[in-house]
């Protein structure tokens, strides 16, 4: 099998890249290790930056998002039993975010790819990327019980942190920057309408909490818990009681309870691999970088990567120049590091470290006081949250 761009991974990054390259007249083959049902049910991110929303619309994948997604013009910060709203459009010249689950983005892009795009092979496990430092890279993969080879001009590694793309970069090539955090998120999905119309980020002496949603009738909520926590260690009743404590305010706001349909624990980590390219292998999304989920940047960074890569490949096709491809890693990393900075800052601002001292607690509250009293500080948060430019 042969194509121009072999794409490993049918998450939102790989699927959007295939869609963008189709528009540029560049053929692709997408290899996905899991089956379609798994990809379309895999719970991940749910907040789309303005640039991601614009990219999906431009790719012809925004119709259902615009019908069913929930536009959010702000977030609420809670601390010391007080509430403060950050107004995105007023601070950013009109930008906002969209709550639309990654599962739904994947469903939309899969339907388009199967109807209009190149081959999308589910159950096709990539085994290795070979000869990436030559002009004829290859992807060995297993599909329907037999091994095959995908020959291509370029390989896009969109297969996540544990995929073969990242491990195809030889040891000693490049550098890894990372940090692990001594806490995690216990997340639940609950069949109950959200208790607030926008996301609520709460700093509490007992730990961080986040109120989010997937639809007008499904809530997504998180609690900061110690690293290593197992979901089954928390009963539904204990989760709701702890959420109520951490979201407590001095007004009459109340938390709605409902049946918990799913529990999971997410570790907190920052990770960047530089460069994001090895020969003709281009890393994108979690294969190249991971952010803690506090800033809602993971999916959006992946979209930024593939928009940049698609432009570079289209530029080479049109002009014969590889200048944008050669600049791919540096271009992406400027945005990646800004997102890493923002996600790290938000994590430190709202989470209580296990060994936090009273002095550090007071500093956290002072930072939040400053943020809510300064338009300049609010603007910096709003600009980062709604997204750094994709160009």
Contact 265, 259 (CB under 8 A): no
Q: Which residues of 52-67 are buried (b: 16+ CB within 10 A; e: fewer)?
A: bbbbbeebebbeebee
Catalytic residue among 154, 181, 278, 385: 385
Cα–Cα distance between 336 and 342 in angstroms, integer?
A: 10
**Cβ atoms 134, 39 nearer than 8 A:** no
Alpha-carbon distance of 175 to 56, in angstroms, equals 32
Radius of gyration of the chain (CA): 21
Structure tokens at 182: 């001594």
Q: Give yes or no: 293 in active site.
A: yes
The answer to whether residue 358 is catalytic is no
- CA distance from start to end of the chain: 34
Which of these is catalytic: 72, 204, 289, 351?
72
Q: Which listed residue (137, 297, 328, 351) is catalytic?
A: 297
Answer for the pair 234, 263: CB distance below 8 angstroms, yes or no.
yes
Catalytic residue flag (residue 100): no
Question: What does 36-83 look like in DSSP terms, one character per residue?
Answer: HHHHHH-----EE-HHHHHHHHHTT--HHHHHH-EEE-EEEEEETTEE
Out of 273, 293, 328, 351, pick the active-site residue.
Answer: 293
**Is the separation of the CB atoms in 302 and 339 below 8 Å?**
no
Q: Which of 201, 222, 278, 328 is catalytic?
A: 201
Q: What share of the chain is helix, strand, coil (3-state, %, to 5)?
A: 40, 30, 30
User: Does 297 qualify as catalytic in the annotation?
Assistant: yes
Residues with catalytic function: 72, 201, 293, 297, 385
């Amino acid at each position: 099998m042969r194509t121009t761009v072999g794409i490993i991974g049918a998450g939102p990054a790989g699927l959007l890249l295939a869609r963008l390259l189709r528009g540029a007249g560049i053929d692709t083959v997408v290899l996905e290790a899991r089956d379609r049902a798994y990809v379309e049910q895999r719970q991940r991110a749910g907040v789309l930056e303005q640039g991601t929303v614009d990219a999906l619309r431009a790719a012809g994948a925004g119709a259902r998002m615009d019908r069913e997604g929930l536009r959010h013009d702000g977030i609420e910060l809670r601390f010391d039993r007080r509430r403060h709203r950050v107004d995105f459009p007023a601070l950013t010249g009109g930008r906002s975010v969209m709550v639309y689950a990654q599962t739904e983005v994947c469903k939309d892009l899969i339907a388009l790819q199967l109807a209009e795009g190149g081959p999308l092979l589910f159950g096709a496990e990539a085994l290795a990327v070979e000869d990436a430092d030559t002009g004829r890279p290859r992807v060995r993969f297993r599909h329907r019980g037999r091994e095959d080879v995908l020959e291509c001009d370029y390989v896009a590694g969109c297969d996540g942190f544990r995929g073969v793309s990242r491990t195809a970069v030889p040891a000693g090539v490049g550098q890894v920057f990372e940090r692990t955090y001594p806490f995690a998120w216990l997340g639940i999905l609950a069949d109950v309408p959200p208790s607030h119309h926008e996301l609520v980020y709460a700093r509490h002496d007992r730990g961080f909490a986040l109120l989010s949603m997937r639809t007008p009738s499904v809530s997504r909520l998180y609690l900061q818990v110690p690293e290593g926590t197992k979901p089954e260690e928390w009963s539904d009743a204990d989760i709701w009681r702890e959420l109520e404590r951490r979201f407590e305010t001095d007004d009459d706001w109340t938390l709605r309870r409902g049946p918990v349909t799913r529990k999971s624990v997410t570790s907190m980590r920052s990770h960047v691999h530089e460069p994001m390219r090895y020969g003709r292998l281009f890393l994108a999304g979690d294969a190249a970088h991971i952010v803690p989920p506090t800033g809602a940047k993971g999916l959006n960074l992946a979209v930024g990567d593939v928009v940049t890569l698609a432009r570079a490949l289209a530029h080479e096709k049109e002009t014969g120049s590889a200048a944008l491809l050669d600049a791919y890693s540096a271009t992406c990393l400027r945005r990646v590091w800004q997102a890493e900075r923002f996600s790290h800052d938000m994590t430190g601002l709202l989470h209580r470290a296990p060994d936090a001292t009273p002095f550090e607690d007071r500093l956290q509250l002072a930072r939040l006081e400053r943020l809510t009293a300064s338009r300049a500080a609010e603007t910096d948060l709003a600009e980062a949250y709604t997204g750094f430019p994709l160009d």
